[in-house]
Structures are given as structure tokens and as C-alpha cells.
Structure 1
Amino acid sequence: MFDEQTELESLREIYYLTNGASGSWRKLLAFGVSLEQQLKRKLLWIWPTAVDLENYNHFLAKHNIQRILSIGCGSGLLEWLMAAAAGEHKISMHGLEVDRNWWQSKYSVRSFIPLNYVEDAANPSQLDSGFLSNCCNDSPPCAMLFCYFNNRRAFLDYLRIYRGKWLILIGPKPAVGIHTDPNPIQPQLPTDVWILRERLDWTDRNVVAFYEKIA
């Protein structure tokens, strides 16, 4: 069992390993392996392997996807790993969250990527003319990411506003017993608009699915 002190020490190490000067995504992955499962899952729901990240970034580079907006990203630690492991194919990574007060409070884990906040718009429709459309248009290609998202209504709202052509869904493999909405394999997207281009099976029974808008 881990205690509060162990968690604080682990966070300090993660902060060090994600620092611009001392940061090392490979060392961060190795550190994650050393953690107890309960603490590991609390700090980051998915700890990918180096091969997982290599395959993920290979797809991004192949399609020249340079910008990603992660919806409901939390601290953005997974997204930091994705971008840090991209190598020469530089990825601009941003997050979107609700509850600015929590994520900027002393009780929250710090943000590892730049965060935008839903409440900065007076209503969801204003996101269309704000950072969402600016961050995710089609020049250069971008992607909108949902990782273990579980709000169908919000997902459809974002999908309606989104101007880009790539969608990345991360969630559990079938029969794992974890519910997400959208589900990466059966997201119930408009079938005449979106097509599945790639499925990656990640460690610990996770799936990464890439969808392209064709209309």
C-alpha cells in the first residue's frame, strides 16, 4: 500500500522527469513500471510502452498530423509522453478541461501541457469561433483526442464544432468491463463521414483508434 508521502515523492520525481532541462520520457516510462499498481493508476490511467508510443507517433508522422487537442485531458501527463516521444516530428499538444478553479488550485496535480478551459466561453457555441476551431482546423492537419471519455452529449457537441479531419479515441478493449462513451471500437460515429484508418493495441488492454473524416 502506498501512502501520501510516497505519492508526493512520486510526483516530485515525475515533475523532475518532465522538466524541460532534465526531462526524459524514457526514464518516466521506466519510473512508471516501478510504481505500485494502485499509485501507478492514480497518477496516470494508461502507462504506454516505448513501442506503443513509437507506433502511435509513426501514424501521426505518416499523415503529417502536427497538432492535437485533448478533450478532458486532466493533468495531460499522457499527452506529454506522446509529444515528448514524437522525436523529429514535432507535435503541438493542448488540452481542454472544465473547472479552472480545481486545475489551478494547490490541491491539483500540475498541468503537463497547456490547458484551455470550457468556462472561458460564455456558451459552447462560442468555442466554434475560439481556440477549438483555431487549434483544430485543417492546415496543417490536426487531431482531436478523447482518452477514456465518458460523456456522449459533450462528445457530440465537440464533434459538431470540430473543423479538423482526424479523431483519436483511446479506451478499453472489448470485454474488459470498463465503459467509455465513445468506445474506441464502436464509437457510433456518422458512418458516411468518419472511417476507421488504424487500430493500435496498447499495453494493459487499451485500444487507440484513428478515424478520418472523409466528407
Structure 2
Amino acid sequence: MGGDERTSGEQEKEEADQGNISEAVSFREKVVALYEKGDASHVLHLMAAATFTPEDRRTTAWDPLLLWVRPGRCCIEAIADHVREGRCGGLASVGCGTGLLEWLVCALTGISVSGYEVNAAWWASRYSPPRFIPLAFVEPDAPPPAVPPSLALMCCYFNNGDAFRKYVDSYDGPAMIIIGSIDKNRHTDPRPLDYAHVHPWTLTHTHPISDTDLIGFYVRDQLKQDVVRRLRM
């Protein structure tokens, strides 16, 4: 039988889904436009106004491919303060995705940032989301590059604890930041508190992003920090 055999309810649902897809694209386009203007403060306002319901992402304006968490200005400042307190010259983020969070840190605080990702072919494809910082690409099966000790090490919603431990093991710097979920129903590995009792790291403080998202701030045990700093002199 020819013609459109969908019920009116199915048609309404399809039209609603298309509208939600357009809304998500519009949100992404707004973020990119503000990025191109260098207007990081407005990006934060736009992110704060967006809604995000994990149970049904299609019904929200939020675009999780840009960034899993929605930091406020206080979160950005807390990250920058930790980098400065560790006497680091910048921030290196592993598994940084689009680099939107890292760009916000740089644009709003002046902290230099760099990002590491895998799958260069995906990020060069027309299906990938936009990139907000230059990315250094790592071969999936190769040992991760050693993050320079002059930089603070950060991950946000990383999803491979074994891979992250390799980054940590090869890192001799003084400061580490782990951002992720404390809700067991949401996957992130490592979680923000996972290194609280892992030598040589000390959890100094935490900063909430939401009821379920947290920033964990770490420093290397003082004795080794002093050794690393003397080697830099």
C-alpha cells in the first residue's frame, strides 16, 4: 500500500525527535560561534542554561559530545589554582575529547593547555565533533607518552583505568586532577577519589561540579615533590 502509513502519534514523535536533533545542533553551533569569538564567559552561561537529562538525551539541548560535565566559573578557577599551587607551567589533559573544558581553562585563566587523544582518523573525519584545542594523538596500542613534569596531569571522564595508570606511572610531575562521576550508575575510570590512598599521591581537596560530578585534586607526596623541583632548577 502506498502513502504514509504512520499513525499521527508516530508522526508527532518523529517531528519532535527531529526538532530535538536540530536543537542539539543549534546548541553546538552556538558554542562554536562563541569559541571563534573567544567569548568563554558566554560559553559558561550557555552551558549553565542548557538542560541535560541522562535518561533521555534526545529531549535536551545539551550536547554531551562537546563535554560530559558542565563546570561553573568556580570549577575553572579551582583547576587553575591547583596548577599554580603545584608550580606547574601548564595543564596536560589525557583523553580530552573536544578540549572544550581545557579551552575554557586557558581562555578564562591564562593557563596553557595541551591535550592527548587516540584515533586520529576519527578526529579527522566529518563525523567527529569540533576541536577546541590542538590534539596530540597517541597510538592505541603504543605506550602513552610521558607527560612533561612541568605540567599538571588531568583527566575528565576518562574510561580506561589501566591506560590512565600508565600515564600516571610515567609522570614525574607534582600535581594531578581527576574529574568524573561519583554516581555508580555512570561510568568513569578512574573516579575522582580513586587515588586518595595510592602512593605517592595525596588527595588535598575536592570541588563539586554537580550532585554526581566531582573534581579530585592531588599532589605528589612532599618528599618526591621536593626532589622533582630540585631537578628542574
Structure 1-normalised TM-score? 0.81
Is contact 1:181–1:187 with CA below 8 Å preserved after alignment?
Answer: no
Matched, 1:166 2:178: no
Displacement, 1:102?
0.5
Q: Which runs of 5+ in 1 are unaligned?
A: none
Higher RCO (C-alpha 8 Å, min separation 6): 1
Match of 2:118 in 1: 98
Calculate percent identity across the aligned residue pairs. Answer: 30
Q: Per-residue displacement from partner, 1:54-94 (whole Å, max 9, x unpaired)?
A: 333233333333311111111111111122221xxx21111
Matched, 1:59 2:82: yes
In structure 2, the residue corresponding to 1:95 is in which secondary structure? Answer: strand
Of 35, 53, 61, 1:18 maps to 35
Q: Which runs of 5+ in 2 are unaligned?
A: 1-16, 225-233
One-letter amino acid of the structure 1 residue matched with residue 97 of structure 2: G
Superposition RMSD on alpha carbons, in Å? 2.3
Is contact 1:68–1:91 with CA below 8 Å preserved after alignment?
Answer: yes
- In 2, Cα distance between equivalents of 1:204 and 1:101: 35
Displacement, 1:209?
1.1
Match of 1:152 in 2: 161
Bigger Rg, which one: 2
User: In the superposition, relative to structure 1, how do residues 177 and 156 fare at CA in structure 2: closer, same or farther (>3 Å)?
Assistant: same
The 5 Å alignment of 1:34-183 reads 34-37=49-52, 38=57, 39-42=61-64, 43-86=66-109, 90-119=110-139, 123-124=142-143, 127=145, 132-133=146-147, 136-138=148-150, 142-173=151-182, 175=183, 177-183=185-191
Displacement, 1:145?
0.7
One-letter amino acid of the structure 2 residue matched with residue 152 of structure 1: G
Is contact 2:149–2:172 with CA below 8 Å preserved after alignment?
Answer: yes
Match of 1:195 in 2: 202
